[in-house]
Amino acid sequence: MTSDAQQKIESYLVRLRTGLRGLQPEEIREIIEELRSHITEKAAAGGEATAAQVDEALAALGTPEDMAREYVTDAVLVRAEVTRTPTRILASLFRWASVSLAGILVLLVSLIGYSTGISFFLVGLLRPFHPDKAGLWIWRNAEDVFYSVRLGFGDPPPGAHELLGWTIVPIGISVGIGLVMLTTHFALWCVQRYRRSRALRHGSGSL
């Protein structure tokens, strides 16, 4: 490899390292070494790696800042897959949403799923403490029908009546838990598909 080619690679990796701040030192070291090997292999595919061939390999990767954002996002998503907790998953989805339209869509669906599930769970839990206010309420006007899951804080709208009575306790708790679990599975499934597509796009199991 020519000295100019080597210098270009090292300059790219220095900028990449700067964008990887926040990851563990061991993670950063592995990323840098793996990417250095990847770039060298691509540039030397036709023989000795020249500066021009290195430029082509680096252009195919994208800017080091973009690559760093992808690596940091991937690391956050991996942690979410390991912990599988809603708070960790949502934190990772906010990170994913900052770099991808797909991430924004998955985040919005997950927020709706989690908030709906938690609302049903809480209404079932709070019904014994607010029997006249907590529940699934319905009311009508001249044109429309409205539904509202209320936790017992504040009076129901005038003319509204509660639909499920005390059955809201088992229904709310079971539906709430089910929605949280379903949302978690959906989010993790989307995360796994994103990480697989990213690996295929870069032609490596890790890149």
DSSP symbols for the chain: --HHHHHHHHHHHHHHHHHTBTB-HHHHHHHHHHHHHHHHHHHTTTSSPPHHHHHHHHHHH--HHHHHHHHHHHHHHHHHHHH--HHHHHHHHHHHHTT-HHHHHHHHHHHHHHHHHHHHHHHHHHTTTSTTTEEEEEEE-SS-EEEEEEESSSPPPTT-EESSGGGHHHHHHHHHHHHHHHHHHHHHHHHHHHHHHHHHHHTSS--
- Average pLDDT per block of 10 residues along the chain, 207 residues long: 84 92 87 88 75 86 87 87 89 89 94 95 93 89 85 85 91 95 95 79 51
* pLDDT at site 202: 56
Predicted pLDDT at 206: 46
Task: Note the pLDDT of residue 205.
Answer: 44
